[in-house]
Amino acid sequence: MPSTIRYRSYAKINLYLDILRQRRDGYHNIETLFLTVSLADTLAFTEQSSRITLVTSVSELESGESNLVYRAAALLKKRTGCPQGVHITLEKRIPIAAGLAGGSGNAAATLVALNRLWDLRLTTPALQALALELGSDVPFCTVGGLAAATGRGEQLQALLPLRPTWFLLLHPPVAVSASRVYNNPALEHSRERPFAGKTRAFRKAIRALEQDALEAVVFNRMEIPVFADHPQLAAAKQELLDKGCLAAAMSGSGSTLFGVCTSQKMAEKIAASFNGYETSVVRNVPMGVECIQ
């Protein structure tokens, strides 16, 4: 029987996200606090001859060479010269194009899982170097937890784990293109210059995080252009605050919104009061991917 292993890939939220100057390569420098949460997709990897094949649970996703999971497997195979193939089954629960790094997490899980299945024995730094070729937040997704990220999001500083915290995620039926947000003329940029790699505002946010003052941390500069195009998202954020969340923000380039809650019970109560939105009640988790079989 062919060998099969299964992994979870966890969603991430941005507790803090600021946009700095645009770089010569066209990317923007950012400052962000990544946090993985318990909403997860599941991937199964089964050995086969030389081919890479992929089946997904949602019709919106292509299963060929444009899919990030397929690209991750093909990149790893090419760079290592591995002769083996794999059949991958992807069960999606993380919404697509929602600011939760679902695709990036799937790619990270693919690199980690195939490194094990194919017995490649690559180190974490080697996997993260490949991950960066797939996307700016894929390196973080290979490890997860809580991290301060700069550069394109690939320069990571692991932070001490956040205390157990519950979040309510709102999933509006809106897909937001990150590239369109970055190129939106309404997107403002921080005027601060980094000192020793971080701006004063980012250092302040990290200190507040270390003091468990999440209400002083949560911030997303991308909200201005996204909310201008989708005012219902601004209204939903305000509703999260009005219903008792300690803080609320959009994750990444959206459209997912999150509220910080004091308990699972509080998160579930607020979730039940929302009409017209899918919701997820989640907690922080210390990893980006997890082997479950």
Residues belonging to the active site: 12, 137
Give the residue carrying structure tokens 């797939």. 134
Q: What are phi and psi of 60, to 5 degrees?
A: -70, -20
Residue 182: Cβ within 10 Å count = 17
Give the ranges where the chain is alpha helix by DSSP (H). Answer: 68-80, 102-117, 124-134, 138-143, 178-182, 200-210, 223-229, 231-242, 264-272
User: Which distant-in-sequence residues (6+ apart) come within 8 Å of 90 by Cβ?
Assistant: 41, 42, 43, 54, 55, 56, 57, 61, 69, 106
DSSP 168: E
Q: Name the residue type at position 2.
A: P
> Taking phi first (over 0 means left), then psi (-120 to 50 degrees means alpha), and beta for anything else, what does residue 26 get?
left
